[in-house]
Amino acid sequence: MSYELLTMIWFFLLGVLLCGYAILDGFDLGVGILHPFLAKDDYERRLVMNSIGPLWDGNEVWLVTFGGALFAAFPVAYATVFSSFYTAFYLLLTCLIGRAVSLEFRSKVSSPLWRRIWDWAFFLSSITAALLLGVAGGNVLAGMELGPKYRYEGNLLSQIYWYPLLVGALTVSLFALHGAIYLYLKTEDDLQARVRRAITPLFFVFAGLYLIVTLATWWHVPHATANISRHPWLWIVPVLNALAVLNIPRAMHWGRPGYAFFSSSMVILALATLFSVEIFPNFMLSTIDPAYSVTLENARSSRDTLETMLIIAGIGFPCVLSYTVIIYWIFRGKVKLDPHSY
Amino acid sequence: MDVEMLSRLQFAGTIMFHYLFPPLSIGLGLQLFLCELAYFRTRNLAWEAAARFWTRVFAVNFAMGVATGIVMEFEFGTNWAAYSRFVGDVFGSALAAEGIFAFFLESGFLAVLVFGWDRVGPKMHLLSTLMVFLGSVFSAVWIVVANSWQQTPAGYHIVWHDVQGEMMPRAEVTDFWEMVLNPSSVDRLTHTLIGAFVLGAFFVASVCSYYLLKNRHQEIAKRCLAISLPTALLFTFLAAATGHDSAQKLVETQPAKLAAMEGHFHSSDQPTGLNLFGWPDTENETVRFNVELPYLLSLLVYNDPTKPVPGMDQIPKDERPPVWLPFQTFHLMVALGTMMILVAAYACWSWYRGAYEQRRWLLWAMVFMPVAAMTANQAGWVTAEVGRQPWIVYPSVQNGVEMMGLRTADGLSESVTAEQVLSSIVLFGIIYSMLFAVWIFVLNHKIQHGPESPEELAEYKKKLHAESMSEAFGHHGTSRGGGMMEDGTQ
């Protein structure tokens, strides 16, 4: 296999890991964002948390494996991206830790104060994590102040301005919508009715932000659309994206929540694909001088390593898919509390 | 302080905090599997009650391991960008393999292990427990392989790349299996895993001994002791044996580390003695207040009491590791290891004679053994990592060609400032202190609550069966949660 082809395959596989993460942890984060607003009492809050109880940990592994795969396949990108986002990334890690421990510890002690503290920690860490992921994505899309020899010249403050914040808001609204549809599938009775009532406004917030971010990207990130203009067949991605967005209210209306969940997953998939199409062939575009950018070519590992890693992925991916299917099958159906629940 | 020292402190702090959890997950995973296997073979509910209890303890510990482990996966990139570029081709593959082979397996089957007791049959559950245990072992395999490659690199060459006009070196894999099976991987892996098994065995023995002291959960405690005491004895012995093997290899692969661990400053043509304890003084190249046993180091290293061991003076001055810290942590590990062998042996003997429960001081000693095992695990890693300095990747010779190493000081992120690192240290210092307090609190809560009795478990199972029957006939109850535990606090 040629070096170029291997490089493209690894760029694609990283996209797969990123989509896997965004779709799976997306509903987890969304459930965390909605948790204080939809559940009325302690029992319902436990139901909401346990709807993702057995799954969130496996979902986060997609992010961890994305990190490992980026390190292995494009070490220069791994090194440059994570050191450039130093402070933002430590805040994201704080949020991921906060989520893990609030899920794990909340219901272990019956004191109401203890539980209220963890409920808030769960909400704040979920919403901040979603926001930060979006802000990072927005910065990568818009390009960053990367100097010579991969030395980043900005800081946290130069990463926080209107465009990445808009992308962050879009991410929060998308995950909240995705999480709401998931909760609708997992709950019953009163709680489910309340979730149903929340889906429509969440959809409109998301659709509004979706339009705004699309226009903002056109205006603020002119290079983002260059790949699509060069390869017009890529228009299929935004068109499918728009169809998937519109299909969410349609499927909910016809009482097919599973189909709606599939649609919101497809929206995430399409947005992540669009993101990859737009940044290609850079991992991080330098706004100082394009020659300083981190690209597929200057970031990749050696040919032999990409090939070995492909063998590892070829053995690993089928296993991963099979356990994911088994686990989701075992925990299918409405969420119920038992002695081992959170 | 400069970025290098701060980044090293941060890495040491985050990895040591992380390493409180994985060895306990690995070790407890084995004990849990053995309990569940006993249930599977005997169908005695006492074993199932025990397995359910250890699962709850395991889950808390595992969550802490995941939460603190995510940080590690990205910290190479955030703080050690130059290092990541230098080793990514090699080190990255091991880390990615860990993700795909170990983490998915662990986290997937963990769901069945923790939440699947009433959803899957005993066979599937036992299989899930085994998979979680194997996942944690695979994770240790890949991460220790990656670390061992830094210590004794193999199967690679250095390639120079043009980066915007400047030539920069990078390590690239030439032979994957030679990289994986580098000269120290197997020894270090077995020693690391055995250290984890020791901790798991003592942890179970500690909790059970506590129950015996308090006259609680006696039946289950005794059953679990029958597993944990002999495994503790077996693994403490194996820890000593594998540690000895590792140290013998060091004289070939990392003589500077060995010299630091032993506080051996001056080479001579006389047989080398062993410093039993002391206070190394690097400035004057001597060990103060030391008690030296003649011939012993030569004997231990070469199996020959007269062959001299090379000292620190053989190493160029700018390639010497610190001595005081590796010396003390190594000696601490050996001392604790020896004590654990003695305690485990005496405990097994007492158990065999039926006198274990009467020896209250022994029960109390057992209660505190996990602290000793945990400390020994940490001390071993401090020895290994500080003894590797000043290198982040050791230099080596491959097929007669000298390969450059990478110094720790050259591995940092160029764009990260001391203020940034200091702020992340403060942030994580606060978070980790809180987490530690919460972890101890919840762990204690679970241990104080203890397992349910076999009778309670039988009652619960009967009720569960009745509920599922009534549901099958369409009588929806408004029952909120199981009877055994109303609100998840168990």
Asked if B124 and B131 touch (Cβ cutoff 8 Å), the reply is: no
Report the candidate in B488, B475, B416, B485 with the shortest Cα–Cα distance to residue B452. Answer: B485
Chain B residues in contact with A93 (beta carbon < 8 A) = 70-71, 74
pLDDT at position B484: 44
What's the CA gap between A188 and A248, in Å, rounded?
20
pLDDT at position B285: 81
B467 touches chain A (CB under 8 A): no
pLDDT at position A47: 87
Instruction: Please state the rounded mean pLDDT for residues A294-319.
Output: 89
What dihedral angle (degrees, nearest 10) is formed by the CA atoms of B56, B60, B66, B71?
180
The nearest CA of chain B is from the CA of A65 a distance in Å of: 5
pLDDT(A10) > 90: yes
A284 touches chain B (CB under 8 A): no
Instruction: Please state the rounded mean pLDDT for residues B362-370.
Output: 93
For B271, phi then psi, to 5°, come to: -60, 150
The nearest CA of chain A is from the CA of B383 a distance in Å of: 26
State whether A340 and B487 contact (CB < 8 Å).
no
State whether A327 and B60 contact (CB < 8 Å).
no
A20 touches chain B (CB under 8 A): no
* Coil vs helix vs strand at B462: helix
In A150-169, the residues whose Cβ lies within 8 Å of chain B are 150-153, 155
pLDDT at position A135: 94
pLDDT at position B400: 85
pLDDT at position A326: 85
Measured CA distances, A116 to A42, A107, A111, A121, A122 (Å): 9, 10, 9, 9, 10
Please indicate, yes or no, if residue A342 is contained in any of the structural domains.
no
Q: Give Cβ neighbours of residue B478 (< 8 Å, ≥ 6 apart).
A: none
Q: Which candidate from A61, A72, A305 shows the least CB-CB separation from B104? A: A61
* Structure token pair of residue B361: 């001081």
* Coil vs helix vs strand at A208: helix
What's the CA gap between B457 and B45, in Å, rounded?
7
Instruction: Please state the rounded mean pLDDT for residues A141-153.
Output: 88
The pLDDT-based confidence of B480 (bands split at 50, 70, 90) is very low
Please indicate, yes or no, if residue A340 is contained in any of the structural domains.
no
Please indicate, yes or no, if residue B483 is contained in any of the structural domains.
no
Through-space distance between the first and last CA atoms of chain A, rounded to whole angstroms:
48
Indicate the pairing of strand B274-281 with strand B396-398: unpaired
Q: How many domains does chain B have?
A: 1
What's the CA gap between A304 and A308, in Å, rounded?
6
pLDDT at position B476: 47
Instruction: Please state the rounded mean pLDDT for residues B435-457.
Output: 88
State whether A65 and B96 contact (CB < 8 Å).
yes
A53 touches chain B (CB under 8 A): yes
The pLDDT-based confidence of B488 (bands split at 50, 70, 90) is low
What's the CA gap between A9 and A69, in Å, rounded?
12
Q: Give Cβ neighbours of residue B451 (< 8 Å, ≥ 6 apart).
A: B49, B50, B52, B53, B217, B220
Residue-wise pLDDT tens digits, A60-82: 888 888 988 999 999 999 999 99
Residue-wise pLDDT tens digits, B371-380: 999 999 999 9
What's the CA gap between B96 and B87, in Å, rounded?
13
Residue-wise pLDDT tens digits, B255-270: 899 889 888 888 888 8
Please indicate, yes or no, if residue A93 is contained in any of the structural domains.
yes
State whether A110 and B489 contact (CB < 8 Å).
yes
How many residues are recorded in chain B?
490
Which of A340, A341, A342 has the most B C-beta neighbours within 10 Å, making it the best mutation to test the interface with B?
Answer: A340
* Coil vs helix vs strand at A282: strand
- Domain enclosing residue A69, as ranges: 3-330
pLDDT at position A174: 94
The nearest CA of chain B is from the CA of A251 a distance in Å of: 29
Q: How many domains does chain A have?
A: 1
pLDDT at position A177: 94
Residue A103 identity: L
* Coil vs helix vs strand at B264: coil
Indicate the pairing of strand B391-393 with strand A294-295: unpaired
Please indicate, yes or no, if residue B155 is contained in any of the structural domains.
yes
Which of B66, B114, B432 has the most A C-beta neighbours within 10 Å, making it the best mutation to test the interface with A?
Answer: B66
Instruction: Give the other-Cβ count within 10 Å of B166's Cβ.
Output: 10
Instruction: Give the other-Cβ count within 10 Å of B268's Cβ.
Output: 11
pLDDT(B27) > 90: yes
State whether B67 and A100 contact (CB < 8 Å).
yes
Q: What is the DSSP letter of B487?
A: S
* Residue A75: cis peptide before it, omega within 30 degrees of 0: no
Which of A71, A117, A153, A320 has the most B C-beta neighbours within 10 Å, making it the best mutation to test the interface with B?
Answer: A71
- E strands, B27-121, are none
Which of B415, B433, B446 has the most A C-beta neighbours within 10 Å, making it the best mutation to test the interface with A?
Answer: B415
Under the phi-then-psi rule, with left for phi > 0, alpha for psi from -120 to 50, and beta for the rest, what region is A144? beta
The nearest CA of chain B is from the CA of A77 a distance in Å of: 9
Q: Which candidate from B109, B420, B428 shows the least CB-CB separation from A323? A: B109
The pLDDT-based confidence of B473 (bands split at 50, 70, 90) is low
Q: Which candidate from B99, B431, B490 shows the least CB-CB separation from A94? A: B431
Residue B265 identity: F
pLDDT over 90 percentage in chain B: 46
Element (H, E) at B154: none
B104 touches chain A (CB under 8 A): yes
- Domain enclosing residue B353, as ranges: 3-472
The pLDDT-based confidence of A321 (bands split at 50, 70, 90) is confident
State whether B105 and A103 contact (CB < 8 Å).
no
Residue-wise pLDDT tens digits, A108-137: 778 888 888 899 999 999 999 999 999 999
Chain B residues in contact with A129 (beta carbon < 8 A) = none
Residue-wise pLDDT tens digits, B70-79: 898 889 989 9
What's the CA gap between B441 and B216, in Å, rounded?
20
Residue-wise pLDDT tens digits, A201-226: 999 999 999 999 989 988 888 888 88
Instruction: Please state the rounded mean pLDDT for residues A29-50.
Output: 89
Please indicate, yes or no, if residue B432 is contained in any of the structural domains.
yes
Burial class of residue B16 in the structure, from the number of CB atoms within 10 Å of its CB (0-12 exposed, 13-18 middle, 19+ buried) = middle
State whether B104 and A110 contact (CB < 8 Å).
no
Q: What is the DSSP string of A16-69?
A: HHHHHHHHHHHHHHHHHHHHHHH--SHHHHHHHHHHSTTTHHHHHHHHHHHHHH
Size of interface A-B (CB pairs under 8 A): 276
Please indicate, yes or no, if residue A338 is contained in any of the structural domains.
no
Residue-wise pLDDT tens digits, B190-227: 999 999 999 999 999 999 999 999 988 888 999 999 99
A307 touches chain B (CB under 8 A): no
B120 touches chain A (CB under 8 A): yes
In B432-451, the residues whose Cβ lies within 8 Å of chain A are 435, 438, 442, 445-446
In A88-127, the residues whose Cβ lies within 8 Å of chain B are 89-90, 93-94, 96-97, 100-101, 103-105, 107-110
* Coil vs helix vs strand at A252: helix
3-state SS, one letter per residue, for A52-118? CCCCHHHHHHHHHHHHHHHHHHCHHHHHHHHHHCHHHHHHHHHHHHHHHHHHHHHHHCCCHHHHHHH
Instruction: Give the other-Cβ count within 10 Å of A298's Cβ.
Output: 17
ipTM: 0.85
pLDDT(A268) > 80: yes
Closest residue in B to A333 (Cα) is B119
Please indicate, yes or no, if residue A265 is contained in any of the structural domains.
yes
Closest residue in A to B439 (Cα) is A105
State whether B163 and A324 contact (CB < 8 Å).
no
Indicate the pairing of strand B401-403 with strand B286-293: unpaired
Measured CA distances, B441 to A107, A109, B435, B485 (Å): 13, 10, 10, 19
State whether B73 and A73 contact (CB < 8 Å).
no
What's the CA gap between B183 and B150, in Å, rounded?
11
What's the CA gap between B78 and B319, in Å, rounded?
26
Asked if B75 and B14 touch (Cβ cutoff 8 Å), the reply is: yes
Instruction: Please state the rounded mean pLDDT for residues B16-38.
Output: 94
What's the CA gap between B404 and B392, in Å, rounded?
11
pLDDT at position B490: 54
Residue-wise pLDDT tens digits, B418-437: 888 999 999 999 999 988 99
The pLDDT-based confidence of B485 (bands split at 50, 70, 90) is very low
pLDDT at position A288: 87
Write down the mean pLDDT value for chain B. 88
What's the CA gap between B184 and B157, in Å, rounded?
18
Residue-wise pLDDT tens digits, B396-413: 888 888 888 899 999 898
Asked if A182 and A199 touch (Cβ cutoff 8 Å), the reply is: no
pLDDT at position B489: 55
Please indicate, yes or no, if residue B337 is contained in any of the structural domains.
yes
Please indicate, yes or no, if residue A337 is contained in any of the structural domains.
no
State the sign of the Cα–Cα–Cα–Cα dihedral B308, B314, B320, B324.
positive
Instruction: Please state the rounded mean pLDDT for residues B340-348.
Output: 94
State whether A68 and B69 contact (CB < 8 Å).
no
Q: Which candidate from B89, B174, B415 shows the least CB-CB separation from A83? A: B415
Measured CA distances, A131 to A99, A165, B404 (Å): 14, 8, 43
Which of A83, A107, A325 has the most B C-beta neighbours within 10 Å, making it the best mutation to test the interface with B?
Answer: A83
For B163, phi then psi, to 5°, come to: -110, 100
